[in-house]
Amino acid sequence: MLKPKNIIPTITVTLVLFIIYASTIPGYIKLVLAIFSITFLIPIAREIMFENGLRKIKVAFYTALITSLGIMAVGTITDSPPIDIEYFMWFLILFFFSSLGIFCYGIPASIIAELVSKRFVRHRALISGLIHIGFGLLTAIFGLSYYLSPGVFIIPALYSGFFFLIDEVTRRRMKKT
């Protein structure tokens, strides 16, 4: 039964699933993104995601913003294109696709990392970091059938590393207050 407190997450997941369904990405990637998106409907996952003032969502937004700005900055340094409306449009496209991956894959992976690492109090940060980066490297499996360059898979691992670092910083700041 749909309860009032479950309406927003249900509508959001439905919208994300529709975007995934309508996209042109391969079917097995759609399946993985859909499974990870459905995890938002699990109460314990939502509890972790929404604790400390929506910390995971803020971390995902900051990660998408920082990595998108970083990639655009590297592109600007190497190519020196004129900064105009086209440059801004490329940033928005990059930010959109980064956000889609980070919100649909990164947040659930981070929730799993947090659930697992809570059991290891002494080495929680190390285990959480390894799980984050492991999920980032796990995306290499998706590209093996397309014979992509191995360097392509460094980007998701870097994104997951940034997500972990930003998550740890915000966790420690929230703990101090």
Taking only the tens place, the pLDDT of each residue in 75-124 is: 777 776 667 787 788 888 888 888 888 887 888 888 888 888 888 888 98
**pTM score:** 0.72
Q: Regarding predicted confidence, which is higher, 8 or 106?
A: 106
> What pLDDT is attached to residue 147?
64
- Per-domain residue ranges of the chain: 53-176
**What is the three-state SS of the chain?**
CCCHHHHHHHHHHHHHHHHHHHCCCCHHHHHHHHHHHHHHHCHHHHHHHHHHHHHHHHHHHHHHHHHHHHHHHHHHHHHCCCCCHHHHHHHHHHHHHHHHHHHHHHHHHHHHHHHHHCCCCCCHHHHHHHHHHHHHHHCHHHHHHHCCCHHHHHHHHHHHHHHHHHHHHHHHHHHHC
pLDDT tens-digit series, residues 32-79:
777 777 777 777 777 776 676 678 888 888 999 998 888 888 877 777
